[in-house]
A and B are shown apart, each in its own frame.
Chain A
Amino acid sequence: MKYTSIMVRFGELSTKGKNKKDFIRMLADNIKHALKNYPDLTYDVLYDHIYVNLNNTDYEPIVNILKDISGIQGLSLVIKIKSDIDEIKQTALNLIKEEKGYTFKVTCKRSDKRFPIVSDDIIRQVAPVILKNTNLKVDVHQPDIKLSIEVREEGTYVFTKTILASGGYPIGVAGKVMMMLSGGIDSPVASYLLMKRGVILECIHFASPPYTSEAVIDKLKDILRELNKFQYSIKLHIIPFTKIQTKIYEVSDESYAITIMRRMMYRIAQEVASKQHCLAIANGESIGQVASQTLDSMQVIEGVVNLPVIRPLCVLDKLEIIKIAKRINTYEISIRPFEDCCTIFAPKRPKTKPRLHEVEFFEKKFDYLALIKEAIADTKTITIS
């Protein structure tokens, strides 16, 4: 049988009240954008579902794209027919014949109260047709095949297959966040998790040529192209960081260099974030992973900003992070062997418990505000879409 539409079920929107409409509109926009290369599709945006009408388009690639769109809980491949009991019976029978299994159950929802037969009676009329014409038996507790019938104003939908999608909120509903993107394994995963929560991201990257390779930027572009699945256009701000970095190593004790470097990055991120109307800064830090990510370090480093700092990965361990990275296809890109600003300058003994007064002592030795201003002025911004 040929499916006519894909029914899109919403994610956690049941907790939303009056602004549910905005959420649905945002989700519908995101879906339409993601499917813009399929001109034959049409859309019915309704209060509890969105229907993507296939109009003879092959459903598989569409499902694969929809599965990654944040805010979609599940997808059903449906057949839309006239609300007519004979047609419902016939379609139900045809559809269930294509399924594998021994037992079935029929469920029904009738939101169109004009339809003269109530849900229970629809079930009572459809099930015998199946029993008579197939070898299937009824099991209402754990059926192999669940046949659903939804009678709505615009017609009746019959379906058996439901596919789980990514969940979360439609991207864009939660506001904008500035993500610190290094190119490693963690920050793309953190980006993905935020996007899933409906957050729009802009990214900031600190480049230290020639200590970091030009190839790192290519790597970032490739990562962002993968993330375009979730957010179709992503801005990347590239900050020239060499001057600040070399100055830090000139004035400070080597063990403090990373702490001070991170503080400078946070300062810059906050400024760029404010300029771009971002409501928070985010990064891929995970508690205790490296010296700059101990709670002691975080506290000293984060002291320089007043925007909220979101760390989606803070409680995940590396293996969990890698698992997600592999799933979203950023892992293979992240492990390309190019040096980023963190690896090349890595001191032998970085402080895991930096002290604020010592940090401030070193920072007083150079006019970092001027250097920060200069770096921000020389920022290169590109958009990946």
Chain B
Amino acid sequence: MIYFDNAATYHNDNKATLEVYLEANQKYFANANSSHRLGYLANKAVDQARLSILRDLKLDSNYEVIFNSGATEGINHALKGYALRNKSRGNEIIAFKNEHPAVSETLLSLSKLGFKITYIDCDKNGEINYAQLKSLINQNTIMVVVMSVNNETGATNNLDKIYDIVKTYPKCVFFSDVTQAIGKINLNYHHLDIFAFSAHKFGGLMGSGILIKKKKILLTKLIDGGAQENNLRAGTLASPLAISTSFALHQAITHLDGNLKHVLKLKDCLIEGLKKNPEIILNSSSEFPYIVNFSLKSKKASVLLEALSNKEIYVSSQSACHAKSNIVSSVLLNMGLDRKLAENSVRVSFSEVNTIDEVRIFLRELNEILGEIR
């Protein structure tokens, strides 16, 4: 099996994370909000996990960690929670055009509630147009929303540059969806006011996510109930999950540089191989090596995927996988690709356990299949 779909779920065989989970599950089975000793101990362990996360991300005590179910929840909480709580400050939100549906659909909901959403274009590499952001931001802007790394193409935005623009507007906060970037590249998290991500994108367990925000930023809560998570997210905290997530993040951050170097080699090898096949057009030009996106000029990506899948090679197609549905990647269309190329795009995404040999096998099989299918 060759698994090259790590942007969907990261697979690095991290047994240690599971062990941490199992151990915590045994040790801290009590409700972390109970006032007896067992509850106190569980709560303490979770607080350690919060501290460890802040430490790993080089954040100080001005930030707080909210555990939740995943990036989608965190994004919903951040965007809706902030907009609804702070509508007296203004009603304009500026957002990147190529955001993940977790962001774009949430913004759509907000626009129905009366918020004015303005979108910023991307260039042909999929990176945000910084000048446009600069010209659009104004006194009524309450939030700027720009992802770190695009999930389809790996296009990477320079968050520091955006920070420089946003910081001159003290009423405006900067939110970023860092789901694809965290644990894979170094980011200046202290440049962000609020950000969200999922654990399963860096080797953590599914069903766990984190929202991190500056303490001074106030949010409305989305889920009513008890006063857990500093009265920001009701519902019993999954302590073992939270503890395992902080462990997985620590692993990822500790090995970040080594992994990055390794995956860079994989990416270079892959791109070199892809360039040799005239059927293929590369859509990724960014330095982010974990995701490579390319399109087929005349053949169907869905057929290629099926053929690869039959050989136990798993990649993904961010596009019309099916002739019967007409979903095309708007990310690629926004980058200026024509519809046919956008429809037939393929995404390869790596983890640190992938090998050069796997890339070579992939290339060989890819070329063979492309030679066979029509």
Contacts and interface: CB of A to CB of B under 8 A. Distances in A.
A337 B321 CA distance: 9
Interface of A is mostly: loop
A249 B324 CA distance: 21
Contacts of B300: 344
A214 B309 contact: yes
A249 B306 CA distance: 20
B303 interface: yes
A339 B302 contact: yes
B101 to A, nearest CB: 18
Contact of B374 (A212, A213, A246, A343): A246
Contacts of A344: 300, 303, 323
A246 B303 CA distance: 13
Interface string B223-246: 000000000000000000000000
Interface string B269-310: 000000000000000000000000000000010111011011
Contact of A210 (B307, B323, B325): B307
Interface string A195-222: 0000000000000011111100000000
Contact of B310 (A210, A339, A346): A210
Interface in A311-349: 337-339, 343-344, 346
A210 B369 contact: yes
B79 to A, nearest CB: 30
A249 B300 CA distance: 16
Contacts of B304: 210
Nearest to B369: A210
B323 A343 contact: yes
Given A209-B310, A211-B303, A344-B303, A339 B374 contact: no
A210 B303 contact: yes
Contacts of A249: 374
Contact of A211 (B309, B324, B325, B373): B373
Contacts of A210: 303-304, 306-307, 309-310, 369, 373
26 contacts: A209-B306, A209-B307, A209-B310, A210-B303, A210-B304, A210-B306, A210-B307, A210-B309, A210-B310, A210-B369, A210-B373, A211-B373, A214-B309, A214-B310, A246-B374, A337-B322, A337-B325, A338-B322, A339-B302, A339-B322, A339-B323, A339-B324, A343-B323, A344-B300, A344-B323, A346-B323
Contacts, number: 36
Interface in B354-374: 369, 373-374
Interface string A54-96: 0000000000000000000000000000000000000000000
A212 B373 CA distance: 12
Contacts of A343: 323-324
Given A214-B310, A246-B374, A337-B321, 12 more contacts: A209-B306, A210-B307, A210-B310, A211-B306, A213-B306, A214-B306, A337-B322, A337-B324, A337-B325, A339-B324, A343-B324, A344-B300
B305 to A, nearest CB: 8
A210 B308 CA distance: 8
Contacts of A246: 374
A211 B322 CA distance: 11
A126 to B, nearest CB: 61
A366 to B, nearest CB: 15
Contacts of A339: 302, 322-324
A260 to B, nearest CB: 15
A339 to B, nearest CB: 5
A337 B322 CA distance: 6
Top 8 A-B pairs, shortest CB-CB distance: A210-B307, A210-B306, A337-B322, A337-B324, A343-B323, A213-B306, A337-B325, A211-B303
Contacts of B373: 210-211
Counting chain B CB atoms within 10 Å of each CB, the highest count among A212, A246, A344 belongs to A344
Interface string A210-241: 11111000000000000000000000000000
B306 to A, nearest CB: 4
Contacts of B302: 339
A79 B203 CA distance: 65
